[in-house]
Amino acid sequence: MKRLGGRSSGQKSIDAGKLNDGAPESAQARAQERRSLSQGWGRLLRGNRVIWVMASVAVVALVAGLGLGHFIVSPSQAAADAEAPKPGLITVPVESRTLTNDVTIRGDATYADSVDVVLETGELGGPAVVTGQVPEVGSVFDAASIALEVTGRPVIVLPGDLPVYRTLRVGVAGPDVLQLKQALASIGIEPGNSESDVFDAATSAAIDALYDRVGYPAPSAGAESTSVSRSATEAVASGREALAQAQAALVSAQAGASLADRVEQENLVRTAQRALTSAQQLGVAAAIGDAEDAVALAIVRRDTVNTAKNTAEETAAVTAATQQLTNAEADLVTANEASMTYLPAAEVLYLPGLPRRVDEISVSRGSTISGAAMRVSGATLVISASAAEADSQLLTVGNTASLAMPDDSVIGATITSIAPATTAGTETATASGRFTVMLTPDELTPEQLQSIQGNNVRVTIAVSSTDGDVLAVPLAALTAGAGGESRVEIATGTGLESELVEVTTGLAAEGFVEVADVTGTLAAGSLVVVGR
């Protein structure tokens, strides 16, 4: 009672202080109150420890009982659970789908037919210095492109397999001339007779047209050749004049005396004969003799005039003049040919399979060419894939394929060749049984071309396919009848009811098989049995 009284007295004292002060309870007072409350709970727990332990044990036992009850099964329930489920049919629906058998291989996206470009520089007479027009890697050469500029002159690309080995000019003949003519004809420049292997004036004119197209002056023979040609032209003119004079002299000699000369000589003969007749009438012997001599002389002179003249000298003069003219004309032809446009060996590069892509450049502006100047390949991207022999026998040139792009898109492609694989550096098939399948992709965008180049891609080739959607069932749905016929079992109810239907089978692919029945029982969505 004293404690309670004292406590009450203290409380009253505090309350009186509050009333007297008129202020809120201090922080110290609040802390003292919390300590008193905590001490009260502590006394409660210490005084009832046994009760709290028993309560905790009861809670734990309750939770454990509930957990064990979940796993403990009564004997009757265990027997019920051990019974087999009621029998039933495992069915799948008949599908309407297109079936396709595919051959899947891997292929590298590359530019084919890579070759080193070696230029003919032996006739330059000095260092083969690159002076300009150096292509960039990735640029494309077509017919009449400029591969390089060497010593200020172009190296012109033309289609052809035969390498350059000499300069071509008027008068030379051979397979290289034939290749040149056909190359010029292929780019629309008329070279003369493109079946002839002779470099003639028409071919020279075509070379002029070629250089005009590429924007460079045609090769020039120089001032000396022009002077020789002019001198030869003058010699031909002089020879023709000399021949004309010799021919006129011969014609004059062959014609003989003129008519006036012949008539004159005939008149002299008759005059002498009349004189002889007069002398004979006079009977003077001396006069008769003189008259007879005069007649004889007149006859000789007349016969001499009427006889054809010997023209050997004039004929010889004509022969000499003709030979001189022939020589002059031959010299003119030679001089003219020497002055005609020609094709230097150092200014042409033949490449098969144009267009071509530049893969690597070994020279730069100002450098001297030594060895290969660059490496080029086919300008068309191809897919080079490897297939096993069994797969290759399913493929045909012209088959379409699908290429899986790096960005997971799909583009089309076409098989262009199928050949036994060869070992690098040889032309004979290996014993590996592998085949190289070449494909050409459909037209690619620049972005697609960049993404696929140099990558290995998956190639899918459809080797057989149904003609559109067909009825198809899983292979597990097929059974064989007593006579070997194919059947499927159709579920006809909700239980075990089913019906066997004979079917004809078609293409099997992707785990399915094409089916058809003559009764028309099967339809898309029909349930066929695959198990029980």
Calpha distance 31→38 (Å, rounded): 11
Query: Cα–Cα distances in Å, from 44 out to 31, 34, 47, 148?
Result: 20, 16, 5, 106
Calpha distance 532→498 (Å, rounded): 12
Calpha distance 120→208 (Å, rounded): 21
pLDDT of residue 10: 38
Tokens of 292: 């007879």
For 275, the 3-state DSSP assignment is helix
Predicted confidence band of residue 13 (pLDDT cuts 50, 70, 90): very low
Q: Do domains 380-465 and 470-531 have the same CATH topology?
A: no
**Model pLDDT for residues 403-457, shown as the tens digit of each residue:** 998 888 999 999 999 999 876 545 554 556 899 999 999 988 888 887 888 889 9
Angle at 411 between CA 114 and CA 514, to 5 degrees: 125
Give the residue from 374, 354, 348 showing the smallest Cα distance to 120. 348
Calpha distance 363→374 (Å, rounded): 7
pLDDT of residue 447: 85
Calpha distance 411→405 (Å, rounded): 7
**Model pLDDT for residues 148-184, shown as the tens digit of each residue:** 999 999 999 999 999 999 999 888 999 999 999 999 9
Dihedral of alpha carbons 40, 43, 45, 51, sign? negative
Calpha distance 51→70 (Å, rounded): 30
**Model pLDDT for residues 66-107, shown as the tens digit of each residue:** 665 655 656 655 555 555 556 678 889 999 998 888 899 999
Calpha distance 298→268 (Å, rounded): 6
pLDDT of residue 391: 87
Highest mean pLDDT pick, 16-30, 273-287, 326-340: 273-287
Alpha helices in 158-307 (DSSP H): 175-186, 201-214, 223-255, 259-282, 285-306
pLDDT of residue 178: 96
Q: What is the mean pLDDT of residues 127-142?
A: 90
| Domain spans, the chain | 18-83, 266-306, 380-465, 470-531
**Model pLDDT for residues 276-294, shown as the tens digit of each residue:** 898 888 888 888 888 888 9
Predicted confidence band of residue 211 (pLDDT cuts 50, 70, 90): very high
- The pTM (predicted TM-score) of the whole model is 0.49
* Residue 233 half-sphere exposure toward CB, CA atoms < 13 A: 9
Per CATH, which fold does 470-531 belong to? 2.40.420
Alpha helices in 215-258 (DSSP H): 223-255
pLDDT of residue 492: 83
**Model pLDDT for residues 220-253, shown as the tens digit of each residue:** 765 556 676 677 788 888 888 888 988 888 887 7
Query: Cα–Cα distances in Å, from 481 out to 174, 489, 516?
Result: 77, 11, 16
Inter-residue contact 146 to 490 (CB < 8 Å): no
* DSSP state, residue 405: -
Question: By mean pLDDT, which of 203-212, 259-268, 364-373 is the weakest?
Answer: 259-268
pLDDT of residue 223: 58
* DSSP state, residue 146: E
Query: Cα–Cα distances in Å, from 414 out to 110, 382, 420?
Result: 15, 10, 18
Residue 394 pLDDT greater than 90, yes or no? no
Residue 15 pLDDT greater than 70, yes or no? no
Would you say how long the chain is, in residues?
A: 532
Calpha distance 9→323 (Å, rounded): 168
Query: Cα–Cα distances in Å, from 529 out to 65, 440, 474, 498, 518?
Result: 47, 45, 10, 8, 19
Q: What is the mean pLDDT of residues 484-488?
A: 89
Calpha distance 471→175 (Å, rounded): 64
End-to-end CA distance of the chain: 90
Calpha distance 375→366 (Å, rounded): 19
Cβ neighbours, 10 Å, residue 162: 13
Task: Indicate the residue type of 1.
Answer: M
pLDDT of residue 217: 94
* DSSP state, residue 361: E
Strands 348-351 and 153-159: parallel
Residue 199 pLDDT greater than 90, yes or no? yes
Calpha distance 26→31 (Å, rounded): 9
Inter-residue contact 513 to 478 (CB < 8 Å): yes
Q: Which residue has the tokens 């150092």?
A: 346
Calpha distance 353→336 (Å, rounded): 36
Calpha distance 416→316 (Å, rounded): 74
Q: Give every CB contact of residue 354 below 8 A, 6+ residues apart in sequence.
A: 141, 142, 143, 157, 159, 379
pLDDT of residue 402: 92
Residue 381 pLDDT greater than 60, yes or no? yes
For the chain, count helices (H), then strands (E).
12, 22
Residue 63 pLDDT greater than 80, yes or no? no
Mean pLDDT of the chain: 81
Q: Which residue has the tokens 């210095």?
A: 129
For domain 380-465, give the CATH number: 2.40.30.170
Q: Give every CB contact of residue 475 below 8 A, 6+ residues apart in sequence.
A: 508, 511, 512, 513
Strand ranges of the sheet holding 140-141, from the earlier edge strand across to the other edge? 115-117, 374-378, 356-361, 140-141
pLDDT of residue 373: 93
pLDDT of residue 222: 58
